[in-house]
Amino acid sequence: MVTISSNLLFISFILYLVATLFYGGSIKSKKHSSEKEGTNRWGQIAVLLTIIGFVSQLGYFITRWIAAGHAPVSNMFEFTTFFGMALVGAFIVIYFIYRTTLLGLFTMPVALLVIAYASMFPKDISPLIPALQSYWLHIHVTTAAIGEAILSISFAAGLIYLVKAIDQTKSSKQTFWLEMVMFALVAVLGFVTVSSIFSGTGYHEKFNWIDKHDNAQVVEYTMPSISGPHKGELLTKDGFKPLFEVPAFINAKKLNTVIWSIMAGLVIYGLIRLILRKRIAAALKPIVKNIKLDFVDEISYRSVLIGFPVFTLGALIFAMIWAQMAWSRFWGWDPKEVWALITFLFYAAFLHLRLSKGWHGEKSAWLAVIGFVIIMFNLVAVNLVIAGLHSYAG
């Protein structure tokens, strides 16, 4: 059953990849065709492949659930994979409302990066720890992930808006920050690359260290240690000595992974810029030249309007109910709880500024992008670097 599950996930990834190529083809074909978007052959094939891929990934989710005996959202691999599936599902729904394949061209690469990112974590099925042995695992985590996925569609639409609206002929604050967003996406590719390389070489080294409760622990690194654990002692002969140590409340091993990902991202980004000889956003600009700004602005806004209450229900209300049952308190200022609250407050401010202050267009698009950055920070930095009650999710 586990093998079948893994194969279904791999098939869905390949289908998403091929679909992305067809989304690109659908955009190019419009330059030489009078077909409407809804009847564009390339676009129809892309959407069909996306749906088949989604069904395949749904099959992965069901078969892994059967094999594990619980909803497969209990660790970083499972949660991130589900988030990628929810993102694709949200796109499919939005597509049939607005019929725009361009959104697929910007959404599917993000989904591919999310699933590839997930594949770098341990895939073993392990028994649930006592804190997770509850039906609220299914309810809280899946609802929160679906809410985040719908909110992420607003990011894709906002990105399209900014790529078209921002003048790329001259350097400005807008071009700089838009390119930083592009680099962040490339850094995820960097994570997948370095993880694959060091995994392939079988690299490892062990440390003794002292955790925040002053207990002695052993940690094994799978990448050369740039950041070392608190009061760490290298046990592996000829291992790479860390350049610096971090406090006990920071997960040094996972921070080390983030540092390697950023360095690899810089290298890959540099190569892309060398090939394109222009900013990535500038290279994407011809693709969006026929899109109507009001159209993608509406998609971005509607996505937040739908995703915000779903996220609030899953990440805050259901989470507090489960926290009361598991830890006898509704709120405890755990890092994950704090960032869920920050995400909630941000999107509440997004809707307030949009409805009361008239923040439409470029301002709204930037808010959508910033919101996605917060979601990714919650997924990557909070889960990987900051130790807390939700650390089991890593």
pLDDT tens, residue by residue, 179-210: 999 998 898 888 888 888 888 888 888 888 88
pLDDT at 57: 95
pLDDT at 132: 66
Distance CA 96, CA 283 (A): 28
Distance CA 121, CA 380 (A): 12
For residue 294, how many other CB atoms are within 10 A of its CB? Answer: 10
Per-residue pLDDT band for 394 (boundaries 50, 70, 90) equals very low
pLDDT at 33: 38
pLDDT at 69: 83
Considering the chain, what percentage of its residues have pLDDT values greater than 90? 42
39 to 23, 35, 47, 98, 99: CA distances (angstroms): 13, 6, 12, 14, 10
| pTM for this entry | 0.85
For the chain, list the strands marked E by DSSP. 205-210, 216-221, 227-228, 233-234, 244-245
Distance CA 304, CA 96 (A): 17
In this structure, what DSSP letter does residue 64 have?
H
The answer to whether 209 touches 231, Cβ cutoff 8 Å, is yes
pLDDT digits (tens, 9 = 90+) for 310-356: 999 988 898 888 778 766 777 777 777 888 899 999 999 999 999 88
Distance CA 45, CA 362 (A): 32
Q: What is the mean pLDDT of residues 139-157?
A: 92
The residues, ordered by sequence, that sit 6+ positions from 163 with a Cβ below 8 Å of its Cβ are 178, 281, 284, 285, 287, 288
Q: Please report, for the chain, the start and end positions of each structural domain, with discontinuous segments joined by +.
A: 2-168+278-393, 171-277
Per-residue pLDDT band for 30 (boundaries 50, 70, 90) equals low
pLDDT at 308: 95
Per-residue pLDDT band for 392 (boundaries 50, 70, 90) equals very low
Mean of per-residue pLDDT scores for the chain: 86
